[in-house]
Structure 1
Amino acid sequence: MKRFFLVVLIYAIHPISLSNAQSSWKKIREELLFNQAPFKQCHASTLVEVTPGKILLACFGGSAEGKQDVDIWLSNIDINGITAPLNVANGVVTDSLRFPCWNPVLFKSREGRTFLFYKVGPNPREWWGMLKVSDDDGKSWSAATRLPDGILGPIKNKPIQLEDGTILSPSSVERNETRWVAHIERSIDGGKTWEFIPVDHGSAFGVIQPSILVYGKNKLQLLCRSRQGSVMQAWSSDGGISWGKWDKTSLLNPNSGTDAVTLSDGNQLIVYNPDVPGKDWFNGRAKLRVASSTDGEKWTDIAVLEDGLKEEYSYPSIIQSSDGLVHITYTYDRKNIKHVVLQKGRL
């Protein structure tokens, strides 16, 4: 496959810090990933490190979100740059019936299998979950299979794998324009079968697109986008088998997707749009930040990724690679995907 070299926009050499903490974060890499992309618009990127130094990136792309020509596209990011996007999944049902694809999610299990989850359907209220797997780190993929009825796969953000091998997939359902609920899909057999675990479905809060954070062996936290102007949280003390009620975090959010990750040192990071929703809620996606926490209760902004006025910088994905660096991708005004690398240092 022909390789496209990355166009590097900025190499920041100064710390990015919004607090007086004893550690700081440096933005060491910042770039737009696609040059002459084979799609007009793209959105909903996802990342996974499959081998040290090699990251897979996927997103959906086509003429516009929700159009029938929207497919799933995959690239490799490594020391040589990024490969040209490869079409790896589509919504073709028959010769005369085709639906758009939505929200890919990449995940690699400790057993070595790489999963590509995505959705197919006319809209988020009627879509269904699809899956492809790779046993050679993304070089080749299985045929697409439809997930069982009632199982959608991770809706936007990556699953996690617990110490005992259990995979927890953060998911949600948009039942209608106003009724949003989140749940966990749990597998104890490497992703062969899934158990549906509701998360406070009696709540008045509307929540979707959860991320999972880990605090020790059995304590977990869900962070969700919501209709209530804040990032919402729920907690589990039994490894995700049961969950408490939703309540607000201190993080404001204009009903826009977030993503979070537990770092190797036990600290937590979330990428989020910080604006309060207003009459034009979409403008709340023009600012994008990273916040840090040690306990999931108190969050401190540690990096500004974007500080625009009317553009869209949204739907982030965040991972920590094996070398300790933090990789973040996000939608860049629907025209591209931006990739930022953060490194933690000491003041």
Structure 2
Amino acid sequence: MIIFRFISCTPESKTVETKMHESVLKSEYVFELENAPTPECHASTVAESKDGLVAAWFAGTKEKNKDVGIWVSRLVGTNWTAPVEIVNGVQDDGTRYPCWNPVLFQPEDQPLMLFYKVGPSPREWWGMLVISDDGGNTWSEPQKLPGGILGPIKNKPVQLANDDFLCPTSTEHDGLKVQIERTTDLGQTWTTTGDINDGKKIG
């Protein structure tokens, strides 16, 4: 197990000491906090691509602020690359919304996928997807998922034996409701179970 620290983007947080479990092989910062590219960062996700480890998170001046985008760093050799903002929430008309909840996913024998959300709040956000053919070095143009499809909210998809992906997702506009979304073609078309609970309880 390897733990990557995204405790905070403030230098003061470097004084925080955490006792690691014996199963942890390595604990390190992806970037030096004194040189953090943004004041805050949140919701990190890690995947092992064909070219090595890739980490992503959302970051900006503060969660929910319009300048929050999705940032990525890659482990090259023994060093993490300088973080780069790969997508933001700027719309065609110039309006900008915050980005949220990146989920990196490396399917077998497929490109690296990065799902994320854009919108003013979790109740109003929509799903987005970018794909990388070179282990997170470059990315496709952002693709908006179909209406009613959000993609995975925080947990990675499950790849079935037939290469379908099952994505755990949820909505918050009418209580917390859970859905399972399925794509059979790398995120081009989708189906959904619809709500599997009533928004009041699960199970």
**Secondary structure class of the residue paired with 1:98:** coil
3-state SS of 1:198 partner:
coil
Any idea what the Cα deviations from partners look like across 1:242-298, whole Å, max 9, x if unmatched? xxxx34xxxxxxxxxxxxxxxxxxxxxxxxxxxxxxxxxxxxxxxxxxxxxxxxxxx
Q: Deviations over 1:2-46 (max 9, x none)?
A: xxxxx9x99x8xx94xxxxxxxx5222112222112100000111
Give yes or no for contact 1:73–1:88 (8 Å, CA) kept in 2.
Answer: yes
Task: Please list the CA deviations of residues 289-335 of structure 1 after superposition, one character each: whole Å capped at 9, or x if unmatched.
Answer: xxxxxxxxxxxxxxxxxxxxxxxxxxxxxxxxxxxxxxxxxxxxxxx
Does structure 2 retain, via aligned residues, the 8 Å contact 1:171–1:183?
Answer: yes
1:130 corresponds in structure 2 to 128
CA contact (8 A) 1:152 1:171 kept: yes
User: Which residue in the other structure is 1:45 paired with?
Assistant: 44
The residue type equivalent to 1:34 in the other structure is F
Tell me, yes or no, if the aligned pair for 1:42 and 1:59 is still in contact at 8 Å: yes
- Cα distance in 1 for partners of 2:98, 2:141 equals 18
Instruction: Report the alpha carbon displacement of residue 186 of structure 1 after superposing the two structures with TM.
Output: 0.6
2-structure distance, mates of 1:180, 1:51: 36
d(CA) in 2 for partners of 1:116 and 1:190? 11
Q: How does 1:155-304 map to 2 (within 5 A)?
A: 155-176=153-174, 179-198=175-194, 200-202=196-198, 204-205=200-201, 246-247=202-203
Greater RCO (CA < 8 Å, at least 6 residues apart): 1
Counterparts in 2 of 1:184 and 1:29: CA distance versus 1, 3 Å: same
Matched with 1:250 is none
CA change 1:201–1:140 in 2 (3 A) is: same
Deviation of residue 78 (structure 1)? 4.4
Alignment of 1:31 onto 2:28 = yes
Q: Is the Cα contact below 8 Å between 2:176 and 2:199 reproduced in 1?
A: no
Distance in 1 separating the partners of 2:84 and 2:199: 41
Unaligned runs of 5+ in 2: 1-13
Unpaired segments ≥5 residues, structure 1:
1-6, 17-24, 206-245, 248-347
Could you say which residue in structure 2 is the equivalent of 1:215?
none
Distance 1:129 1:160 in 2: 18
Query: Which one has the largest radius of gyration?
Result: 1
**Compared with structure 1, are the counterparts of its residues 200 and 94 closer, same or farther at alpha carbon in structure 2 (3 Å cutoff)?**
closer
Identical pairs, percent: 44
Cα contact 2:30–2:73 (8 A) shared by 1: no
Q: Aligned pair in 2 of structure 1 residues 95, 202: CA closer, same or farther (>3 Å)?
A: closer
Answer yes or no: is the 8 Å Cα contact 2:70–2:86 preserved in 1.
Answer: yes
* Cα deviation 1:73-112 (Å, max 9, x = unaligned): 0001244221111110000114641110000111122232
- The 3 A distance-change label for structure 1 pair 42 and 203 is closer
In the alignment, residue 87 of structure 2 is paired with which amino acid? Answer: A
Match of 1:106, SS?
strand
SS state at 2:189 partner: coil
TM-score, normalising length: structure 2: 0.84
The within-5 A match list for 1:61-80 is 61-80=59-78
Report the secondary structure of 2:193's partner residue: strand
Q: 1:203 to 1:69 in 2, by over 3 A?
A: closer
- Partners of 1:41 and 1:203 in 2: how far apart? 31
Q: Is the 8 A contact 1:113 1:133 kept in 2?
A: yes
Q: TM-score, normalised by structure 1?
A: 0.50
User: May I ask how many residue pairs the two structures share in their alignment?
Assistant: 187
The Cα shift of 1:200 comes to 2.5
Q: 1:60 aligns with which of 58, 61, 70?
A: 58
The structure with more strand, counted as a fraction of residues: 1
Question: Which residue in 2 is equivalent to 1:112?
Answer: 110
Deviation at 1:188, TM superposition (A): 2.0
